């Protein structure tokens, strides 16, 4: 499939704000692209009357919006996909499930309020794994429809990769933003845990759930961050934040050597070695840091908390509609029901200790960003799975901001991703640094890409 369609987000938004483009024309392009591509990719939840709804919204925006381009908000007229666990006024929320939408209904999510305040238009709901757990939806990988797009934010990643929208919202509990970004060859960003309110989002595991988004480049992700993050630059009513730790033009990069990194497959490790060489040649200092010797115990701790919280989040729905849940989600709920409160509290204590150890390892090694494969390899040729989230697990466990950059190809031509992870709260530092690293990986190289 030719991955064409919308311009990158920054260019799309600039053209719409300036008046060089028109929201009605942007909507027509969006709907034309969805009509042409989505029957194969299946990234969007089917919606009768999508074109009529969007054209009406675009005309209303063009009529009621500021006539002066200087007064138009950052995402004026930009069509956005919204993962179908995020409530949107006027659209049903099904969460990839067979439950009645009225059982899942509620107030519109804060993240959608912020998008609409910034002038964005909701192109539609994007497919999610059932309840953002592991039972895959119908979405295909735009690079090869026989391969998974990842999960659980499968539809959002695929919609951006296939050029249907320049921006799409997803969520990550363990690896649901970063892995699909790597599999689909787009930039995916998961902020620090808690930097966007989860109001209006159907929970998976509330100690980990984090909203995030996809664009085709870091500049687009950063533009969206400016209006979505609490304290984001330029967001409605949110002042410019103070400089955060690690906000350097050329950060020191740390490689987490040990059992964690050994979970990556041969192709991912080969590409990771090449990426490290590229960055080193561009002037980045890279330090190997032994860390997570107890990685198996970390995995067990996270899933103890995760499954316990899944079961509690679904207690009412599962009691009423348990026969409508898919096998994988039912198994997760049942596992969580068997976990006692004491085991959960012990896991919470162990997570706090893990976060402290990880922060101390980073500070002790003098690094600004962790560097790791975004996934264990390319997207599997298996539509019954969303792949493994293991390469994202420790960073989600620690609540750290992370980002996946497209970084090379596997032997079969499918995309691979490089994961960057910053300190808690250093989201802006991560995005600033990722711009330079993106330039190196894209061949810009040299002094400009590394910030010199």
Tokens of 285: 């200092």
Annotation says 152 is catalytic: yes
Radius of gyration of the chain (CA): 21
What's the CA dihedral at 250, 233, 124, 193 to 10 degrees?
70
Alpha carbon 113 to its chain centroid, in Å, reads: 19
The vertex-362 CA angle with 368 and 227, nearest 5°, equals 45
Residue 35, Cβ neighbours under 10 Å: how many?
Answer: 12
Q: Using CA atoms, how far apart are residues 442 and 436, in angstroms rounded to an integer? A: 10
ω before 220 within 30° of 0 (cis)? no
Tell me the pairing of strands 187-190 and 402-409: antiparallel
Residue 269 · residue 256 · CB < 8 Å: no
H helix intervals, 91-191: 101-104, 110-117, 154-161, 178-184
39: burial class by Cβ within 10 Å (0-12, 13-18, 19+)? Answer: exposed
What's the CA dihedral at 322, 323, 325, 331 to 10 degrees?
70
Active-site pick, 97, 152, 156, 226:
152
Annotation says 190 is catalytic: no
Active-site pick, 83, 190, 207, 396:
83
Q: Using CA atoms, how far apart are residues 14 and 12, in angstroms rounded to an integer? A: 6
Helix (H, G, I), strand (E, B) or coil at 83: strand
DSSP secondary-structure letter at 261?
G
Residue 215 · residue 166 · CB < 8 Å: yes
- Helix then strand then coil, % of the chain, to nearest 5: 45, 15, 40
Q: Please tell me the number of Cα atoms within 13 Å of 200 on its side-chain side.
A: 20
Q: Using CA atoms, how far apart are residues 15 and 9, in angstroms rounded to an integer? A: 10
Active-site pick, 97, 154, 176, 450:
176
Q: Using CA atoms, how far apart are residues 28 and 17, in angstroms rounded to an integer? A: 17
- Any idea which residues carry the catalytic annotation? 83, 152, 176
């Amino acid at each position: 499939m030719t991955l064409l369609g919308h311009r990158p987000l920054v260019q799309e938004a600039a053209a719409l704000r300036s008046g060089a483009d028109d929201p009605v024309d942007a909507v027509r392009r969006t709907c034309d692209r969805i009509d042409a591509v989505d029957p194969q990719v299946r990234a969007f939840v089917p919606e009768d009357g999508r074109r009529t709804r969007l054209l009406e919204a675009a005309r209303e925006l063009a009529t009621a919006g500021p006539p002066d381009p200087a007064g138009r908000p950052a995402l004026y007229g930009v069509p956005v996909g919204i993962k179908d666990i995020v409530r949107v006024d006027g659209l049903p929320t099904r969460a990839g499930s067979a439950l009645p939408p009225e059982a899942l209904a509620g107030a519109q999510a804060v993240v959608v309020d912020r998008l609409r305040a910034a002038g964005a238009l909701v192109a539609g709901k994007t497919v999610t794994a059932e309840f953002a757990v592991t039972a895959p939806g119908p979405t295909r990988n735009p690079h090869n429809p026989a391969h998974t797009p990842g999960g659980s934010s499968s539809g959002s990643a695929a919609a951006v990769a296939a050029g249907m929208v320049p921006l799409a919202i997803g969520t990550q509990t363990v690896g649901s933003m970063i892995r699909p970004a790597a599999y689909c060859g787009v930039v995916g960003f998961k902020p620090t845990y808690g930097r966007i309110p989860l109001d209006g989002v159907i929970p998976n595991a509330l100690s980990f759930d984090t909203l995030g988004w996809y664009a085709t480049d870091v500049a687009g992700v950063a533009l969206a961050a400016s209006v979505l993050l609490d304290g984001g630059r330029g967001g409605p009513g949110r002042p410019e934040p103070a400089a955060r730790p690690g906000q350097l033009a050329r950060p020191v990069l740390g490689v987490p050597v040990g059992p964690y990194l050994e979970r990556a497959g041969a192709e991912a490790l080969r590409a990771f070695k090449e990426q490290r060489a590229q960055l080193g040649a561009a002037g980045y200092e890279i330090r190997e840091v032994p860390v997570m010797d107890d990685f198996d115990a970390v995995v067990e701790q996270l899933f103890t908390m995760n499954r316990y919280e899944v079961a509690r989040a679904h207690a009412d729905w599962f009691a009423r509609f348990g026969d409508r849940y898919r096998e994988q989600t039912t198994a997760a709920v049942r596992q969580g029901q068997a976990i006692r409160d004491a085991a959960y509290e012990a896991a919470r204590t162990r997570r706090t200790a893990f976060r402290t150890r990880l922060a101390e390892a980073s500070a002790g090694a003098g690094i600004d960003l962790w560097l790791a494969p975004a996934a264990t390899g390319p997207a599997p040729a298996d539509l019954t799975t969303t792949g493994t989230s293991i390469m994202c697990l420790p960073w989600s466990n620690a609540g750290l901001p992370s980002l996946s950059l497209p970084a090379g190809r596997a032997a079969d031509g499918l995309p691979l991703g490089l994961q960057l992870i910053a300190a808690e709260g250093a989201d802006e530092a991560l995005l600033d640094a990722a711009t330079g690293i993106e330039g190196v990986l894209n061949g810009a190289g040299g002094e400009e890409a590394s910030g010199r």
